[in-house]
Structure 1
Amino acid sequence: MQKKILIVIIIVASVLMIASVVLSQTGILDAGEAQAAGDGTIEVIKDVEELEDGCFYIWKNCKGKKIDAKDNEFILCPEERSNIDYEDREDGGAKYTVWVDSSKDGLIPTLTSSDMLLYKSKKTIPDAFDFARLYENGYSIGVTSLLPDEGGHYYINAYNGDIDEYVNLKSDAGELDGLNAERLYFDKIGGVAVDENNVSEAGIITGLKKNEQYVCELYTGTYYQDYMITSNQHTFTGFEDFECRGYSFLHSSCISVDIPEWLCTGYYYLNGEALFRYVDDNDVAIYNGKPYDKNIDWNVPLIKYNDMGQVIYDPSQPVDEESIAIEVEGEPEGDEQVPEVAGGNTATWTYHIVGDEAFCAVVNVTALENSEPAYLFVTPPDGEEVSYEEKDNQIVVNIAKPQEGEYTFRIENITGRKFSVLYSTGETYYGEGE
């Protein structure tokens, strides 16, 4: 009898294994999505006519731009639960947070450079496509935006009618709703103190295991409370914003949204309504295809800042074009720091760039009434000169992939004016006219 049961088990296991391979090979599920299916079942749509209006989809392994067959693979980019409306994400008291329950994070599709990002609508096309990048915090309880008091104890200040900005009421952390306290302190979780070592910059408790239950030791004032809360919320917080506008019409009732060449591995919430993970060509071979891969850094920043917190490189802004619109505030103060231009109309200097990391130079020019705009001419080692025009007393040179070597800078139309140059390396040049 035991042998018969064993034989039946082996047969069933074999059938399931073969079915899984067949599904993957035939494209009903691609290999990566098949692994993710245990955390939510992805619906694969074959016919473009079945795509819903007003939604974004990933067209997997597309070939060309013509959709003429009914045997394709379209996957919906889902809209997920957030603590603040997308349009108001900069105005809330809490950090913008997107929660995906662990039972559903397998529904987050994966976009690669071999896929297309589609949008379908009978009424209109968005004026812009906001690639809102989200910081991946791993799995946590449904609580966000913890702050430390002066003693280093972490709390949420969520009881002024806006607790839903701080607590995901749809998770079991929703049990915290109704506690009457000005501050709700999180002292320990799973016996471990809640402190700067396990709270992210956005106020997320980190280092928790997926779907693990934890005793949360809380205080309302000086009164002790404890709750059993599950770490089943794949938690994302606001990180970087990139506004793009490119798209192409397809003769299939939808458009293809341009995927920026500079897009890097990470999680993106397109226009606050379509969540997907992007895996770039450097990571696609090592990505495990599951909802979570700890071996991939999903949070490598794309925007670069100087020590003063000013943006010195944003890949979504024009590169090597005139009148680059990047705000960089803070001209050097004090006339003694910036020499007067010695009566000339032109100044020339050089700068040696080391390596191929993104480079930025910000030229601040003092205002002079009725003066013509200054022009900056930059000559890289290969000799192909590029010009930039002054705008609002500033010229910004933004080079995504510089050549290594000596660059020559020449500024013109600066008679009677002063200028200084702030490099992305942190160095400053105070120039005099020739």
Structure 2
Amino acid sequence: MRKKCLFLAAAIAVASITVSGCKKEEQEPAGPIEQSLAAVTVNELKSGCYYVKNGGDFFELPTEGLNFDPSRPAETTTMEPNGIIRKDANRIVDFVYKDNAIPILYKNDQLVFKASGNVPSFTWERFRDQGYSIGLYGLSSSSAGKIQFENGKSGNDGTSSITAAISASLADGMTLDNGFVLDKINGASLTGDNLRPGGIVAGLTKDAVANCDLYVGTALISACATADMRAFTSFELYTTDLYSNSPNGYAIIDIPDYLKSGYYYINNAGLVKYYNVERGTDTADIKMDDPYYYEDNSGNVMTYYEYLEKTGAISQNTEIQGGASSLEDTPDIMDFNTDVTQSGITFNIAYKFQTKEAETAAKQTGKFPRVILVSPTGTATELASGKNSGDDEWVYMGSTVEGAVAGAWQLRFYNFENLYRSVSTDIASGNAKSFVQSGSSGQITIHYDDSPIANDITITWQNSDHAASVVIRTPDGTEYSREKTPGNLMLDEYGKVVFKLPGLTNGDYQFLIQGTDLGRVWVDSEESVSLDSSAAQTDPEDTEDAGTETAETKAEDGFGETAAQD
């Protein structure tokens, strides 16, 4: 790893350099040669080097040209803690002979490090690929609109063809102490519009001929070079610490899940091309410079996810101006109907991505799942999303509407391809005894007065060819179900179940019905004869702890791994 030199007259030996033609120079055997991707074995790993491990092959992360001191740690432009977005592309790595030796790391590969001492922390400095150009960088546009090379600000790759070409073109006594102006390439005048970030000339392809006209002072010189330098400019920075030791003598570095696809320079030691997908996945549409850190209009730095929330995602349920008529069409709609005005209705939605690749694609495109609730009156509300814990793969949305009006309610789903989902409804009512279940589960709350007489509770549903599971939860938390109280289950068939309750307690009873697309569900109650004392009545309190079963039932009612999936 060598630091870049500047063009200084005293540092350029002209006599020993000859230029023939506009192509990459034929090198002496002792000089640098083109390198390509080459695998080594575990016994050939070198201390202090990083490798991509794929199967039994190891591919070293290369380094070549730098414009900074690699012995100093990477810092952000503003000297803030690691992770702050860079204000400009002030750090450059480039390759003239090793651009074809940059290995590709997939998330199911391993990034390994060979150490002879303690294993360090790992700095992931993310770079943008600026493509191929002549071997100059840090160029700038002067007040006169000219592209200038300034000593102390600009730099060059000492092994690039432009370095040799300029050196050979200098007349006796001519120096570059005061820099020079790069006026034209292949006869085309250059302006600031021709510069990429990092002050790199744009518009050239690998090894393209570049006949350069330069002015040293007012003297015109010509230099015949090629676009032989591939340059990368820094723009983000991360630090990690986790690794595991392999018995084969190297450390396996933990790759963070949040790391986005891109080029990463690891601990100033080598560059790797990283795809945040499994090996074998099509990578043609993956962006390598999609930022993780963003700035808002006030200059505040945000993470990618904070940026989404601020610019697109929402943190609380939000009414959409224009209502239902302003919404985009979607074929993915669920309808829910109520007969009378309810005291309340709750919608619960949970989703998770079927694969990590699907989640990655959503992050790359910004097309995250959205759900919009439309009322019978046409009011449209976008539902906020969130997670219960960092380890939970499910994302949750919900809305409770007090005083819900009668009619057709809709849940409109957008960008729900490649997802698992669960939808449930909870209708709270003092008088309504039916609801329409279009999702995988639903519930209704009905108030009953005290009654010491046994009651038969009958639950029926419209689509009687669909199976359903029913749980009745009393005001004191007692639960009746097929599993817990089989002695109270009087009838259990497709389309209808009947439970006998020994009496009713004043309060709200919850009826939790799990089953896919049952249609309208009715709940009815009528007094009946009590169970004989010798009958096999099962007391829920004698079976399992009610609180435990309640938690299990809740998981099954919409948001656990057992939830119905599209």
| Range into which the TM-score falls when normalised by the shorter chain | 0.5 to 0.7
Q: Distance in 2 between matches of 1:208 and 1:43?
A: 27
Matched residue, 2:60: 76
Judged with a 3 Å threshold, the aligned counterparts in structure 2 of structure 1 residues 104 and 245 are, in CA distance, closer, same or farther, namely: same
Q: Distance in 1 between matches of 2:161 and 2:240?
A: 37
1:402, CA displacement in angstroms? 7.8
Match of 1:312 among 295, 299, 302: 302
Judged with a 3 Å threshold, the aligned counterparts in structure 2 of structure 1 residues 382 and 306 are, in CA distance, closer, same or farther, namely: closer
User: Which fold has the larger relative contact order, with Cα–Cα distance below 8 Å and residues 6 or more apart in sequence?
Assistant: 1
- For residues 384-433 of structure 1, the C-alpha deviation after alignment (integer angstroms, 9 at most, x for no partner) is 499xxxxxxxxxxxxx99867889xxxxxxxxxxxxxxxxxxxxxxxxxx
Q: Distance in 2 between matches of 1:104 and 1:266?
A: 18
Matched residue, 1:213: 209
Q: Distance in 1 between matches of 2:52 and 2:140?
A: 38
Q: Secondary structure at the match of 1:243?
A: strand
1:171, CA displacement in angstroms? 1.3
1:113 aligns with 2:107: yes
Matched residue, 2:194: 198
Matched residue, 1:393: none
1:144 aligns with 2:128: no
Larger relative strand fraction? 2
Give the letter for the 1:60 counterpart. N
- For residues 74-131 of structure 1, the C-alpha deviation after alignment (integer angstroms, 9 at most, x for no partner) is 1111222212213276699993211111x421111110012000011121111x2111
Give the letter for the 1:144 counterpart. Y
1:168 aligns with 2:163: no
Q: Distance in 1 between matches of 2:109 and 2:162?
A: 37
Matched residue, 1:64: none
- For residues 282-305 of structure 1, the C-alpha deviation after alignment (integer angstroms, 9 at most, x for no partner) is 8964448xxxxxx76432222111
Judged with a 3 Å threshold, the aligned counterparts in structure 2 of structure 1 residues 381 and 203 are, in CA distance, closer, same or farther, namely: closer
Give the letter for the 2:69 counterpart. D
Q: Distance in 1 between matches of 2:155 and 2:236?
A: 21
Aligned length: 283
1:55, CA displacement in angstroms? 1.1
Give the letter for the 1:75 counterpart. F
Q: Secondary structure at the match of 1:173?
A: helix
Q: Distance in 2 between matches of 1:192 and 1:353?
A: 55
Judged with a 3 Å threshold, the aligned counterparts in structure 2 of structure 1 residues 59 and 305 are, in CA distance, closer, same or farther, namely: same
- For residues 46-74 of structure 1, the C-alpha deviation after alignment (integer angstroms, 9 at most, x for no partner) is 3x23311111111114xxxxxxxxxx111
1:154 aligns with 2:144: no
C-alpha RMSD of matched pairs (Å): 3.8
Q: Distance in 2 between matches of 1:219 and 1:190?
A: 15
Judged with a 3 Å threshold, the aligned counterparts in structure 2 of structure 1 residues 149 and 91 are, in CA distance, closer, same or farther, namely: farther
Give the letter for the 1:220 counterpart. V
Matched residue, 1:99: 94
Match of 2:292 among 292, 299, 302: 302
Q: Distance in 2 between matches of 1:297 and 1:215?
A: 33
**Structure 1 contact 95–144 (Cα < 8 Å) conserved:** no
Q: Secondary structure at the match of 2:163?
A: helix
Match of 1:125 among 115, 119, 132: 119
Matched residue, 1:269: 265
Q: Distance in 1 between matches of 2:232 and 2:395?
A: 33
1:276-355 alignment runs, 5 A limit: 276-281=272-277, 285-287=281-283, 297-313=287-303, 350=316, 352=318
Q: Distance in 2 between matches of 1:299 and 1:352?
A: 32
1:139, CA displacement in angstroms? 0.6
**Structure 2 contact 89–233 (Cα < 8 Å) conserved:** no
1:40, CA displacement in angstroms? 2.6
**Structure 2 contact 140–192 (Cα < 8 Å) conserved:** no
**Structure 1 contact 200–206 (Cα < 8 Å) conserved:** yes
The runs of 5 or more residues in structure 2 that have no matched partner are 1-32, 78-87, 168-173, 307-314, 321-361, 369-382, 401-566
Q: Secondary structure at the match of 1:106?
A: coil
1:311, CA displacement in angstroms? 0.8
1:186, CA displacement in angstroms? 1.4
Judged with a 3 Å threshold, the aligned counterparts in structure 2 of structure 1 residues 117 and 88 are, in CA distance, closer, same or farther, namely: closer
1:49 aligns with 2:49: no
Q: Distance in 2 between matches of 1:248 and 1:167?
A: 39
Q: Distance in 2 between matches of 1:196 and 1:404?
A: 49
Q: Distance in 1 between matches of 2:258 and 2:127?
A: 16
- For residues 354-411 of structure 1, the C-alpha deviation after alignment (integer angstroms, 9 at most, x for no partner) is 998599xxxxxxxxxxxxxxxxxxx96568499xxxxxxxxxxxxx99867889xxxx
Judged with a 3 Å threshold, the aligned counterparts in structure 2 of structure 1 residues 100 and 116 are, in CA distance, closer, same or farther, namely: same
Q: Distance in 1 between matches of 2:218 and 2:302?
A: 46
Q: Secondary structure at the match of 2:43?
A: helix
Question: Percent identical across equivalent pairs?
Answer: 25
Q: Secondary structure at the match of 2:156?
A: coil
1:272, CA displacement in angstroms? 0.9
**Structure 2 contact 316–384 (Cα < 8 Å) conserved:** no
**Structure 1 contact 358–402 (Cα < 8 Å) conserved:** no
Q: Distance in 2 between matches of 1:220 and 1:406?
A: 71
Q: Distance in 1 between matches of 2:190 and 2:183?
A: 6
Give the letter for the 1:77 counterpart. L
**Structure 1 contact 267–275 (Cα < 8 Å) conserved:** yes
Judged with a 3 Å threshold, the aligned counterparts in structure 2 of structure 1 residues 237 and 382 are, in CA distance, closer, same or farther, namely: closer
Q: Distance in 2 between matches of 1:353 and 1:110?
A: 45
Give the letter for the 2:140 counterpart. L
1:179 aligns with 2:175: yes
**Structure 1 contact 353–405 (Cα < 8 Å) conserved:** no
1:21-40 alignment runs, 5 A limit: 40=35
Q: Distance in 2 between matches of 1:226 and 1:88?
A: 39
Structure possessing the higher radius of gyration over alpha carbons: 2
Q: Distance in 1 between matches of 2:389 and 2:280?
A: 37
Q: Secondary structure at the match of 2:162?
A: helix
